[in-house]
Structure 1
Amino acid sequence: MIATLPAVAGGWYACTSIACYLAYTRDKRAAQTGRRRTPERTLLLLGLIGGWPGGLLAQRLVRHKTGKMSFQVKFWITVVANLAVLLVV
C-alpha cells in the first residue's frame, strides 16, 4: 500500500496541475476578451488540492496573476499548506 502512494500522489498532482493550468489560461483569455472570469477562489482551491505546480507554470508562461500581490500571498499560503499536508501523510 505504501509503495503505491507515490504513484497515486504523482498522478493526482499531474491531473490537478493540468486542470489548474487550463483554468489559469482560460481566465487569462477571459480577462483579455472581457468575458466572464474564473473566480480567484477557484484558482486557489485548485492549487490547494495539488494543482499548484500547474498554476505556477501558468503564472510564468502566460504571465497571469503575477502582479497581483494579494493573490500571490494567498497562492503561496496554499502551496505551503498543500506541502505540509503531503509531508504529514
Structure 2
Amino acid sequence: MEDVTMLLPYIITVNIIGFIMMRIDKQKAIKGKFRIPERTFWLLAILGGAIGIYMGMKAFRHKTKHTSFIIGVPVLIVINLVLFAYITFFLS
C-alpha cells in the first residue's frame, strides 16, 4: 500500500516537469537557441508525464505540427492511465 501512495506525488511531479519543459523548449525555439531533444519528451511521456506534455503542447502551441506528438502523446496518456489504474487497484 505504501508504494501506491507514492504513485500520486510521482505522477504529479513528472507531469509538472513535462509541462515546464515544453514551455522552456518553446521559448528556446522562439529565441533560436539550443533545443531540448524530442527523445527527452518521449522519455518523460513514457515515464508517466504524457498528460503534462500534452497540456504543454496545448498551452504553448508547441510540437502541434508533429504528427508523432499529435498521435503518440494521447496514446501514451491512455497507456499511462491504464498502467496507473492497474497498479492502484490490482497491486495494492
> TM-score, normalised to structure 1's length?
0.81
Counterpart residue type for residue 67 of structure 1? K
> How many residue pairs get matched?
87
Asked whether the equivalents of residues 54 and 74 of structure 2 are also in contact (C-alpha less than 8 Å), the reply is: no
Instruction: Please point out which of 19, 22, 35 is paired with 1:21.
Output: 19
Task: State which drifts further: 25-34 or 76-85.
Answer: 76-85
Please provide the CA RMSD for this pair.
1.8
1:67 deviation in Å?
2.0
For 1:74, the aligned partner's letter is G
What residue in structure 2 maps to residue 35 of structure 1? 33
* Partner of residue 74, structure 2: 76
Q: Distance in 1 between matches of 2:38 and 2:75?
A: 14
Unaligned runs of 5+ in 2: 88-92
d(CA) in 1 for partners of 2:35, 2:26: 8
Identity of aligned residues (%): 29
How far does the alpha carbon of each residue in 1:15-60 deviate from its partner, in whole angstroms, 9 at most, with x for none? 0011101111111011111111111111111111111121121111
What is the DSSP-based 3-state SS (H/G/I as helix, E as strand, rest coil) of the residue aligned with 2:85? helix
CA contact (8 A) 2:14 2:44 kept: yes
Report the Cα distance in structure 1 between the residues aligned to 2:55 and 2:75, rounded to whole angstroms. Answer: 17
Instruction: Give the unaligned 5+ runs of structure 1.
Output: none
Runs of 4+ in 1 over 3 A off after TM superposition: none
Distance 2:81 2:32 in 1: 35
Contact 1:48 1:82 in 2 (8 A): yes
